[in-house]
Structure 1
């Protein structure tokens, strides 16, 4: 009985509090043309993509537990190939030499308070380039080189509305779904207690 209580307590510890869904994109210009993406739920990797394999690969068992998740991987593959092509066409065409382009986006949800947060930000050569401020609902650049991009993005109202919706609503729904899939997977494999203590 005591072990059962400890296991239930472990599940609660694992899935209570602040949660996050994040995607990291990294592109490197030059002859090698590198492009990789990593997806994380609560800072644990669940998906990986690089331009050499051209396929989003699951890095956690739970992502493949239901048929619709295979569709998710196909959609992510298409999205990442599109993003890679967009960067080559719009970013690297204007850049000589070797440079890095980073993108991080996602959301956070606190299951105790209900508080949510979303973020989407770009970096160039390791420095902040552009981010979406959801409080002002504006794109903001902290460097002079990004001011033209900031103005153009703020004028693209359809794109701005999409990202506001995605980060405030859709991303949170996906995060909750992934947390439930992960929790169900742990319960089925009997790893709750071990996982919570790791």
Structure 2
């Protein structure tokens, strides 16, 4: 989908970008996120995109251009073992959502007294499952142009309005009984679907891969960046130490981002402008997966730093992912109740 995919990621609202790609600190927590994005006047980007991610891996894809749901992991083809009609219903939902997305954008634009320009309507559903305690945490949120609009508080079973323009939406959904349908949907996706998906991809999801680590520097006076790529899962830390103690000042940690091959990358920069060059080698870049006692340490060796004058390996400069459009078991009844605002 070209550059449109990066636009999709940057406009994900609230804390969705972090909850979409960052798992909890314990590997036993399995995170499922489904995002649907309808857009208008966005160049090189489908009008409708749905993305489903399990533990940081894209598992399903659908958009307004291909108009069908596709598995993005080979093991997701096993879904028909438990739901023979899965591909039919998710494809139908994808196609139906193209038109309802357009309608929603137009309605919300009018409420904000807007007529032209780029706009996005986003829906995010997610759940986290602790396979040790069997506890499940659920998220159901909506946003317009990258900002919160309305969300479901499941503990109080109520819609929470974030923007005044969402009051009409709340009243409409309360009358339609959308919360009860949402609860049915949550049960199907989170207590049944999510657990099945984890079972299908158990070998892949429970694997561990260590990163390729490189030291980078734009110029001799710039901070030194430690870049780690190719690791899995994304429950990991990358940090600097000095004489074995973690450095907390003059550091700039980056986000954990997905690569296109199902692995992840991240970086952390250290400003050494006030550190004598003779003391540089007292610093180390440390990578550690959560739950793993082993630390993978790279000493700050000035001779190993790659600068703009040196060509870094392609694995280091490989960019961040194209995230397609994914969708997961979406109950048609719930969609009809909450599809229009």
For normalisation by structure 2, the TM-score amounts to 0.47
What secondary structure is seen at the aligned counterpart in 2 of 1:65?
Answer: helix
How many residues are aligned here? 176
What secondary structure is seen at the aligned counterpart in 2 of 1:196?
Answer: coil
Q: Give deviations 1:42-79, integer Å, cap 9, x for gaps.
A: 12110111101111111101011364467322221111
Structure 2 residue corresponding to 1:65, chosen from 78, 103, 125 = 78
What secondary structure is seen at the aligned counterpart in 1 of 2:155?
Answer: coil
Structure 1 residue corresponding to 2:151, chosen from 104, 107, 131 = 131
Which consecutive unaligned segments of at least 5 residues does structure 2 have?
A: 1-25, 110-114, 210-231, 233-341
Q: Higher mean Cα deviation, 100-109 or 147-156? A: 147-156
Give, in angstroms, the shift of residue 111 of structure 1.
Answer: 1.0
Within-5 A mapping of 1:19-34:
19-30=30-41, 34=47
| Cα distance in 2 between the residues matched to 1:181 and 1:111 | 15
Structure 2 residue corresponding to 1:177, chosen from 189, 192, 196 = 196
Q: Give deviations 1:146-182, integer Å, cap 9, x for gaps.
A: 112112212222x220102222454221000111111
| Cα distance in 2 between the residues matched to 1:16 and 1:148 | 41
CA RMSD between the two structures = 2.4
Equivalent residue for 2:49?
36
**Contact conserved, 2:128 with 2:137, CA < 8 A, in 1?**
yes
Higher-Rg structure is: 2
| Cα distance in 2 between the residues matched to 1:134 and 1:162 | 12
Equivalent residue for 1:17?
28
Runs of 4+ in 1 over 6 A off after TM superposition: none
* 1:164 and 2:183 correspond: yes
Return closer, same or farther for 1:99/1:66 CA change in 2, 3 Å cut-off. closer
Return closer, same or farther for 1:124/1:196 CA change in 2, 3 Å cut-off. same
Give, in angstroms, the shift of residue 192 of structure 1.
Answer: 7.9
* 1:196 and 2:199 correspond: no
Give, in angstroms, the shift of residue 126 of structure 1.
Answer: 0.5
What secondary structure is seen at the aligned counterpart in 2 of 1:152?
Answer: helix
What secondary structure is seen at the aligned counterpart in 1 of 2:208?
Answer: helix
* 1:142 and 2:176 correspond: no
Give, in angstroms, the shift of residue 17 of structure 1.
Answer: 1.4
Higher helix fraction (1 or 2): 1
